[in-house]
Each structure stands twice: as structure tokens, then as C-alpha cells.
Copies of this chain bind each other. A is one copy, B any other.
Amino acid sequence: MLNHLRGYFPILDWGRTYDRNAFSNDMIAAVIVTIMLIPQSLAYALLAGLPPEAGIYASIAPIILYAIFGTSRALAVGPVAVVSLLTASAVGQVADAGTAGYAIAALTLAFLSGVFLVLLGVLRLGFLANFLSHPVIAGFITASGILIAFSQLKHLLGVSAHGHTLPELLMSIGAHLGETNVITVIIGVSATAFLFWVRKGLKPALRRLGASPKLADVLTKAGPVAAVAVTTISVWLFGLNDKGVKIVGEVPQGLPPLTLPSLSPDLIGQLLMPAILISIIGFVESVSVAQTLAAKKRQRIDPDQELIGLGAANIGAAFTGGYPVTGGFARSVVNYDAGAETPAAGAFTAVGLAIAAVALTPLVYFLPTATLAATIVVAVLSLVDFSILKKTWGYSKADFTAVAATILLTLTMGVEVGVASGVGISILLHLYKTSRPHVAEIGLVPGTQHFRNIHRHNVETDPTVLSLRVDESLYFVNARFLEDLVQARVSEGCAIKNVILMFSAVNEVDFSALESLEAINQRLTELGIGLHLSEVKGPVMDRLKSTHFVHELNGRVFLSQYDAWRAMVPPADTDNAAE
């Protein structure tokens, strides 16, 4: 019973052995992560089109709920760049940014996403996430990074623009270029340049100056906080907000409010597909981060339980003024590197953010949005990596096509079309490949019992026996292909008396393929040619035995291709005398 409960509440597992040492490690990690999360949460809320406090609220309840239900010990849950972009795209279609309807739609999106994730987890359907292939994810993340960077350009320029695709964004910014605010540009560009330098140049510089690796690391992480502090103070000192620099302004002080998602069927109908998409993308991102970190410590995560953990986090976000969340790469790595040992570190981070929400929000009143945009731009540009195009081009044109289409369609048609097309194209290309399977004519490798392709290896053959190794499961998409192929091969070779189909690579024979095999058997019978099968796998044979086919087969089913071959071609005296 307790074991069963522990399956659904991993906290019962690690909670039992929690000690002072783990507590102190978790506490230190929480402080570091909290400092990093404050500007990041504000920035991602901005990206999602929501008021800044939504980003902080979305980091409190979700972290605690994930700590209870999640299985990863280092994953940090909260707003992330790609999910924020997806939220902006989905919610932007049903409400205008800045309205109360927009915030409610975002809550509802989180709620639907949470319910969907929990459902998938309870039904053990986590494998659905595998429909997103690695190259499609890589392409999608790269394209999203570019889209996000361009979506922040308006904040760096101080103009109002909008759009969810690259052409829309470029045209909209172009049309508003006249409104550019020079002071905003100066703040934005210098913050961006500073943050890039912090990321690339600060750490080596500090090490050269004699700082310890640990200190250099902490100072590097504090870069965004420094940028926030300096630009906020500058705006306040020089009254730049009166000169057209947009600032964060008043952020309500207090704990996350209790909010209710909308249950309007119309809104749910419009947000359902985006919610499913956000859930799956968020889950894939989160699981790959969690798996990477778990593997480093020889721990394991349970993907189906992860669905429940992320689902609970999203439902929590929906009721506490947040928006869709997932396990973020950057914050999780920081959490891990800072020494977090258990999900309690997440809970302590939540406490830290709650304190910030209650006490520190007046400090960001003068924070320019250009600075937040700069932190987003610098963060997402590290996601942009076109090397996947080169890697897949060299390995498989099908994978390359899927990546290239995903990148192109995400940039030009938006995130939803992009990722859906990526999945669709991957599946279609896979089906296309299996629709024309590789079928090798095989012969015996001399001195062995092993058979290989006659065109690649020097093997023994016999003119009366045609041995074909079918390199694919037989199912409706390729059933007719095999029918045509056997017919064509048999009509070429007049000496053929027996056909052996070697089924070592046939993992399934579906009903359509069974009918094709029956047709092949019938035609060969009419031509006086024997049809035999070899190396039929257990599960395939079990199924064939339940049909008439095995009785109607004019030849035999052999355990091994070698047995089949020897039954038709007796060994010559000279070779394999020892057999």
C-alpha cells in the first residue's frame, strides 16, 4: 500500500531519509536559484504578454506541487522561454494582451494543459511524446529561439509591434521604426552587450584576476541581477521613464492570488489544441532535462509520473495567477550545479520567491522592459543551433527534411504549424520508407550457417532456390509491394522451384499482409513453385497459426534459414563435411 502510494507521491520516498546535510545543500541551491529567477520570471511573463507578477506567481505553487509529485530531484519548474512564446501565440488568438480576458485565457491554458498531462500520466501514455523526434525538437527549439529574439526587438527599440511569425514581426517592426526611442535603444543594446560579455568573457576574466572557480561562477550567474540593478537605478536617478523609456511599473505586493480558470466551452474549444501542444512540448523539454541530470547521478526518472508532476504544477499555476509552466533547462542546471539534493530545494526556492512577491516588487518599479528583453534575447540565442541541419544532412535526408521543414514553417507560419508539420512530416517519411522495404536476395556464407545479401557478400546460391530476406515488418502500407516483388522475381528466373522468405526482420504481419501472403501462396501454387518461410519470430508465428494460412501454405516453415536451405540443397561432399 505504502509502495503504491509512493508511486504517486515520490515525496514519501525521498522524504523519509531527509537529513540536515541535505537540508543545508538544498537551502544554498534555493538562494542561488531564487536570485536568478526573479528577473527571469519577470522577463518570461513579458514574453508571454502577461503582467510581470504572473511570472513570479507561476514559479511558486508549481514548484511546490512538482516537489510533491515529480520524480526528478533537480528539475526546477516554472515559466520557460519556448512555453511562454507558445502561450503568447495561443492566447493572442483569443484575447488582446493586457486585458483581463488575456490573463484568464492564460490561466485556462495552464489548467487544460495540466489536466491533459495528468490524464496522459494516469493512462500511462507518456510514449506519445516520442512522436516528436530529436531532430524535430532541435529544429523547433532553434526556430523558436529566433522568433523569441525577434519578438523582443520591439522592447529593445521602444516601439509597439506584434506578430507571431518572422515576416509578421519584421513587417510590424519596420512599420513602427519611426517611433524608436533612442534612450531605450541605448539601455537595451548595452544591457544585451553586457549580458553577452558576462556569458562569454566574464568567467575567464575573473579567473585571470585570480578569483576561485566557485566565485567566478557565482558572479557570472549574478550578471542579469547586476544589469537589472544598474538600469533600474539609472532610470530612477535620471527620470528616464518620463523620456519615453518603458518601465515595469507597479507590481502588486502580496502572495499569489487565488484565481479560477474559465470553463466557457467556447474558450476551452479554442485553447484545447494549443494546450495539448504546449503540454507535449513542455513535457519533452522537461523530461530530457530531467533525464540528463538524473543520468549524471545514476538516478532514474519515471516519465509517466513526470506527466503527473508537471500536470499538477500546471493546475497549480492555473489557480494561483500563473500560466503554463514546465521544467526549464537553465534553472534546472543552476539548481543542480548549486548542489540541490532533493525536490525540497524547489520548495525553498518557492518560499524565496514568495518573499520577493510580498516584499521586493516595489524595487522593480523603475526596471526598464528593455533590460528584461535583453535577458531574454541573450538566453534564447544560446538555444539557436543550426548544426542539427548539417548533422542530419550527412546522416539521413529524411531526418534533414523534417528538421528543415520544422525550422522553415515555425519561422514563417508560427510555432503551432511548425511543430505539427514537423511531427506530420516525420511520420509520413517513416511510412514512405517502410512502404518500399529493402528486400535482399541472400545466399549462404561458405563455412557458416549464416546468410547474407548476394550483392554484398561472396555466398553460395542455387538456381532452383530463391531466398529473399524481407527487411521490414509486413503491414498494409507495403503488403502489395511484396506481392508484386515476388511475382516479378519469379517471372524472371525460370529454374526456380522453391521460394524461401526469410522472416528474421519481419516483426509483424498485419491482416492486409496476411491476405497478400495468401495471394502469393496461391499464385506460386498455380505455377508449381514451393513457398517456404524461415526464421519466423515467435509472436508472428503465434498469430499466423491462428489462421488458415499455415495449413494452405504449399511449403514448410523452417526454424532457421539454414535448415530450409539444407532441406532443398543437400551439402556437397567437399564442403562442411563436419556438419
- Chain A interface (Cβ within 8 Å of chain B)? 127, 130-136, 295, 300, 391-392, 394-396, 398-399, 426-427, 430-438, 440, 445, 448-450, 452-453, 456, 471-473, 475-481, 487, 504-508, 510-512, 514-515, 523, 537-539, 543, 546-547, 559-560, 562, 578-579
Closest Cβ of chain B to A428, distance in Å, is 9
Contact B437 A131 (CB under 8 A): no
Task: Out of B440, B479, B487, name the residue touching A134 (CB < 8 Å).
Answer: B479
Closest Cβ of chain B to A284, distance in Å, is 10
The contact sample of 17 A-B pairs, CB cut-off 8 A, is A127-B481, A130-B435, A131-B431, A131-B477, A133-B479, A135-B511, A295-B523, A395-B511, A398-B510, A427-B427, A430-B476, A430-B510, A433-B508, A448-B562, A449-B449, A471-B507, A578-B579
Closest Cβ of chain B to A500, distance in Å, is 15
Task: Out of B430, B477, B504, B507, name the residue touching A475 (CB < 8 Å).
Answer: B430
Contact A471 B537 (CB under 8 A): yes
| Residues of B contacting A472 in the complex (Cβ-Cβ under 8 angstroms) | 473, 507
User: In the assembly, what is the distance between CA of A392 and CA of B481, in Å?
Assistant: 21
| Residues of B contacting A437 in the complex (Cβ-Cβ under 8 angstroms) | 507
User: In the assembly, what is the distance between CA of A391 and CA of B546, in Å?
Assistant: 10
Task: Out of B431, B436, B448, B505, name the residue touching A449 (CB < 8 Å).
Answer: B448
User: In the assembly, what is the distance between CA of A297 and CA of B131, in Å?
Assistant: 45
Contact B505 A438 (CB under 8 A): no
Taking CB as reference atom, which chain B residue is nearest A578? B578
Contact B543 A395 (CB under 8 A): yes
Taking CB as reference atom, which chain B residue is nearest A128? B435
Closest Cβ of chain B to A107, distance in Å, is 32
Task: Out of B133, B449, B511, name the residue touching A392 (CB < 8 Å).
Answer: B511
Given A295-B523, A449-B450, 16 extra CB contacts under 8 A: A127-B436, A127-B477, A127-B481, A130-B480, A130-B481, A133-B510, A133-B512, A136-B476, A394-B547, A399-B510, A427-B427, A430-B510, A438-B537, A438-B539, A440-B537, A448-B562
| Residues of B contacting A560 in the complex (Cβ-Cβ under 8 angstroms) | 445, 448, 450
Contact B562 A130 (CB under 8 A): no
Closest Cβ of chain B to A192, distance in Å, is 33
Q: Which interface residue of A136, A449, A508, A579 has the most chain B CB atoms within 10 A?
A: A508
| Residues of B contacting A427 in the complex (Cβ-Cβ under 8 angstroms) | 427, 431
Contact B511 A396 (CB under 8 A): yes
Task: Out of B132, B300, B546, B579, name the residue touching A487 (CB < 8 Å).
Answer: B300
Contact B543 A478 (CB under 8 A): no
| Residues of B contacting A504 in the complex (Cβ-Cβ under 8 angstroms) | 504-505
Closest Cβ of chain B to A59, distance in Å, is 28
| Residues of B contacting A511 in the complex (Cβ-Cβ under 8 angstroms) | 133-135, 391-392, 395-396, 399
| Residues of B contacting A396 in the complex (Cβ-Cβ under 8 angstroms) | 510-511, 543
Closest Cβ of chain B to A535, distance in Å, is 8
Q: Known contacts A426-B476, A430-B475, A505-B504: does B395 contact A514 (CB below 8 Å)?
A: yes
Contact B134 A547 (CB under 8 A): no
Task: Out of B395, B433, B579, name the residue touching A546 (CB < 8 Å).
Answer: B395
| Residues of B contacting A426 in the complex (Cβ-Cβ under 8 angstroms) | 476
User: In the assembly, what is the distance between CA of A471 and CA of B509, in Å?
Assistant: 13
Closest Cβ of chain B to A301, distance in Å, is 10
Contact A559 B510 (CB under 8 A): no
Taking CB as reference atom, which chain B residue is nearest A132? B476
| Residues of B contacting A480 in the complex (Cβ-Cβ under 8 angstroms) | 130
Contact B450 A559 (CB under 8 A): yes
Contact A453 B514 (CB under 8 A): no
Closest Cβ of chain B to A119, distance in Å, is 17
| Residues of B contacting A445 in the complex (Cβ-Cβ under 8 angstroms) | 559-560
Q: Known contacts A131-B476, A300-B487, A479-B130: does B394 contact A546 (CB below 8 Å)?
A: yes
| Residues of B contacting A487 in the complex (Cβ-Cβ under 8 angstroms) | 300
User: In the assembly, what is the distance between CA of A453 and CA of B535, in Å?
Assistant: 12
Taking CB as reference atom, which chain B residue is nearest A560? B450
User: In the assembly, what is the distance between CA of A429 and CA of B477, in Å?
Assistant: 13
Taking CB as reference atom, which chain B residue is nearest A131? B477
Contact A134 B471 (CB under 8 A): no
| Residues of B contacting A506 in the complex (Cβ-Cβ under 8 angstroms) | 505
Taking CB as reference atom, which chain B residue is nearest A512? B134
Closest Cβ of chain B to A44, distance in Å, is 28
| Residues of B contacting A507 in the complex (Cβ-Cβ under 8 angstroms) | 434, 437-438, 471-472, 505
